[in-house]
């Protein structure tokens, strides 16, 4: 075995162990382990770019085999949430695509894989997958309502909380495809951020571009207009796809608005404390998130960044 082969084998072992540790932490402790699940694609992504496709694929396959032996559903979840994302991101980056295009291609690939897998499962098992997901959401909402009841809420106060939870469950049951896509975009972005910090360890670091230069294609505004127009008809066949498309496109404009905000932070040397305060407000104040989204939308006409940056580096 050559020194290069030994190094590749060590990286496969290290990458597989790290991925298993991260994803099992997420699977066993769903709430507190969520950050670990978000960065579970990173080891395969990093070692795939460091050592080549074979090493990244080996890490994913070993992880799938171990998780499949433990619990097949966890293995499937890893394939859709971590393994597929890491391999597709690495492939797009290896081909010289920038960060935004790599994320778009990888998320699109994972979405297609998810739809195909879900369709095959529904056909083979005869299960209504959408019904199963809706039932799972309803069950979670019911458990949350029970916790409020145990917490001492009663009477009109409890009834108001349960009604709010019921409406939230109906909304989540309608928009979960858009939520899953945006979460996948966030996962991919987080892993590329980690990759940027670790790029010094790669012989050929990928060109990720600057996040502050992110700009959606101008034509994207037409999807916002078309999906919003379809909602006016309130037709059951059109409503759910149009609403999910609107949420995804507005999410992309939120990202563009955030890129502009960070550009201003850098330009005016805003302190880390004030940046952190802004991000906390952004997480807890929905009106601020709406403002950031509008910032991204208006950038189409006002062009807050001069000179005009190129689209999706």
Angle at 26 between CA 24 and CA 32, to 5 degrees: 135
Mean residue pLDDT of the chain comes to 88
| Percentage of the residues of the chain whose pLDDT score is greater than 90 | 56
Sequence-ordered list of residues with C-beta below 8 angstroms from that of 16, at least 6 positions apart, any chain:
43, 58, 59, 62, 63, 66
CA atoms within 13 A on the CB side of 35: 2
Rounded to an integer, the average pLDDT of 127-138 is 76
CA atoms of 8 and 11, how far apart (whole Å): 5
CA atoms of 265 and 279, how far apart (whole Å): 12
Residue pLDDT, tens place only, 261-288: 999 999 999 999 999 999 999 989 889 9
Residue pLDDT, tens place only, 6-24: 898 999 999 999 999 999 9
DSSP symbols for 218-250: TTHHHHHHHHHHHHTT--HHHHHHHHHHHHHHH
Q: Give alpha helix (H) positions in 151-235.
A: 155-198, 220-231
Angle at 140 between CA 137 and CA 146, to 5 degrees: 145
The H or E element spanning position 3 is helix 3-28
CA atoms of 283 and 254, how far apart (whole Å): 13
* Distance, CA of 248 to chain centre: 11
Rounded to an integer, the average pLDDT of 14-35 is 90
What residue spans in the chain does CATH classification 1.10.1760 cover?
1-118+179-209
- pLDDT attached to residue 105: 95
Strands, E assignment, the chain:
none
| CATH code given to domain 1-118+179-209 | 1.10.1760
Q: Are 91 and 188 in contact (CB under 8 A)?
A: no
User: Would the pTM of this model clear 0.75, i.e. be above it?
Assistant: yes
Q: Are 311 and 215 in contact (CB under 8 A)?
A: yes
Confidence of residue 250 (pLDDT cuts 50, 70, 90): very high
Whether the per-residue pLDDT at 55 is higher than 60: the answer is yes
């Amino acid at each position: 075995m050559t020194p290069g082969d030994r190094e590749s084998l060590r990286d496969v072992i290290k990458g597989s162990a790290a991925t298993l540790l991260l994803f099992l932490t997420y699977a066993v402790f769903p709430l507190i382990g969520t950050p670990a699940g978000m960065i579970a694609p990173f080891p395969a992504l990093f070692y795939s770019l460091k050592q080549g496709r074979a090493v990244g694929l080996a890490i994913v396959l070993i992880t799938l085999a171990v998780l499949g032996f433990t619990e097949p559903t966890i293995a499937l979840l890893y394939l859709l949430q971590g393994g597929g994302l890491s391999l597709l991101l690495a492939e797009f980056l290896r081909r010289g695509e920038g960060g935004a295009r790599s994320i778009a291609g990888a998320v699109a690939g994972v979405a297609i894989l998810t739809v195909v897998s879900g369709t095959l499962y529904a056909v083979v098992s005869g299960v209504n997958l959408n019904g199963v997901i809706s039932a799972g959401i309803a069950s979670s909402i019911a458990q949350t309502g029970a916790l409020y009841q145990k917490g001492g809420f009663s009477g009109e106060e409890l009834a108001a909380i349960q009604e709010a939870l019921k409406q939230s469950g109906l909304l989540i049951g309608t928009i979960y495809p858009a939520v899953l896509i945006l979460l996948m975009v966030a996962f991919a972005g987080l892993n590329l951020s980690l990759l940027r910090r670790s790029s010094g360890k790669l012989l050929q670091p990928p060109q990720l571009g600057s996040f502050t230069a992110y700009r959606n294609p101008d034509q994207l505004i037409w999807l916002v207009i078309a999906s919003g127009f379809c909602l006016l008809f309130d037709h059951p066949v059109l409503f759910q796809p149009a609403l999910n498309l609107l949420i995804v496109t507005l999410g992309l404009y939120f990202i563009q608005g955030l890129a502009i905000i960070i550009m201003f932070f850098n330009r005016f040397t805003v302190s880390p404390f004030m940046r952190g305060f802004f991000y906390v407000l952004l997480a807890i104040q929905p009106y601020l998130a709406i403002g950031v989204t509008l910032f991204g939308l208006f950038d189409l006409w006002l062009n807050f960044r001069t000179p005009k940056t190129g689209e999706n580096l």
